[in-house]
Amino acid sequence: MKWALIGVGHIGTAILEGWIKTGYRAEDVYISVSTREKEDSLQEKYGVSILQEASQLADCDLVLFAVKPQDLPQIAANYAPYILSTTLIVSVAAGIDLSSLRLMLGKTGPSSDEYPILRVLPNLPSKVGAGVSVMVANEHVSQEQLDQAKSIFLNLGLVMELPEENFAAVTALSGSGPAFVAVFIEALADAAVYAGLHSEAANTLAAQTLLGTAKLLLESKTPPAILKNQVCTAAGTSIYGIRALEKSGFRASVFDAVIAASERTEALAAEAAENIV
């Protein structure tokens, strides 16, 4: 399968590396980034092909846009005339829904109603193969095309299909979530330093504790509340710590963070739609 990767930032690089690590041929990937210097560097490092002419997109089964949301309208308009109407279009741009993608492509490309389009939300842990990619397809995406796309994103971690109306919540949880978790890990480590641990040991223990807890929850399918009860013994250290978290409004703060991120996602999506004339 030949495909094109338009934009090779953090997520684009994770996608590319995951594809290559799985054993697929790097030379089957056309890349396009903002500077020729970066293209040459990526070609030297990975052995990928450079998209020399937009007309080469006609040879691709899949075109994946991994660019910033604000850059996607112009980039999509530039490339759409060269993309066949049967080519699978994939976008990882946050806040730009299927309808907006269809309008962007339809301005300059073939009949916009014909494009099979897949919207995917991968998160930053995809860089280490431990991410989550949530996807939704329009009605023109075939099962074979969906399987092809999944084969790329499965290299990055878990893949889920959810309705598009859930994507604001997904962005807030799995997209913004790593930032929330990083703040929690930092706070855990800082508190351990205050209690006497050296910072290097504290950071390692805090991160591994989060990693191990998440792995245990996923593999055992244990609800978080049950695991919490298993750790908390009567009048023990853990329940005293839980009481301190509750007194500080920990749960309410987490609620507020996710809801705020979700509402901001919806606002950005509305702004993006307004800018597509």
**Residue where a domain stops, chosen among 120, 137, 163:** 163
Per-residue pLDDT at 265: 87
Looking at the fold, whether 26 and 147 belong to one and the same domain comes out as yes
> Domain for residue 170, yes or no?
no
> Domain for residue 273, yes or no?
no
> Domain for residue 277, yes or no?
no
Looking at the fold, whether 154 and 185 belong to one and the same domain comes out as no
Looking at the fold, whether 17 and 153 belong to one and the same domain comes out as yes
> Domain for residue 169, yes or no?
no
Per-residue pLDDT at 231: 97
Report the CATH number that the domain containing residue 213 is assigned in CATH. Answer: 1.10.3730.10
Per-residue pLDDT at 277: 56
Give residue 93's domain range.
3-163
Report the CATH number that the domain containing residue 115 is assigned in CATH. Answer: 3.40.50.720
Looking at the fold, whether 202 and 92 belong to one and the same domain comes out as no
> Domain for residue 54, yes or no?
yes
Looking at the fold, whether 10 and 51 belong to one and the same domain comes out as yes
Q: Which residues contact 8 (CB under 8 A, 6 or more apart)?
A: 16, 31, 33, 38, 42, 66
> Domain for residue 158, yes or no?
yes
Per-residue pLDDT at 272: 73
**Residue where a domain stops, chosen among 133, 163, 193:** 163
Looking at the fold, whether 103 and 151 belong to one and the same domain comes out as yes
Looking at the fold, whether 99 and 198 belong to one and the same domain comes out as no
Question: Average pLDDT by consecutive 10-residue portion of the chain (277 residues)?
Answer: 91 89 87 89 93 94 92 91 93 90 78 81 92 96 93 92 95 95 98 97 98 96 96 96 96 96 88 71
Looking at the fold, whether 156 and 254 belong to one and the same domain comes out as no
Looking at the fold, whether 64 and 136 belong to one and the same domain comes out as yes
Per-residue pLDDT at 19: 84
Looking at the fold, whether 111 and 237 belong to one and the same domain comes out as no
**Residue where a domain stops, chosen among 108, 138, 163:** 163
pTM of the model: 0.88
Tally of structural domains, the chain = 2
> Domain for residue 275, yes or no?
no
> Domain for residue 88, yes or no?
yes
Looking at the fold, whether 198 and 79 belong to one and the same domain comes out as no
Looking at the fold, whether 79 and 195 belong to one and the same domain comes out as no
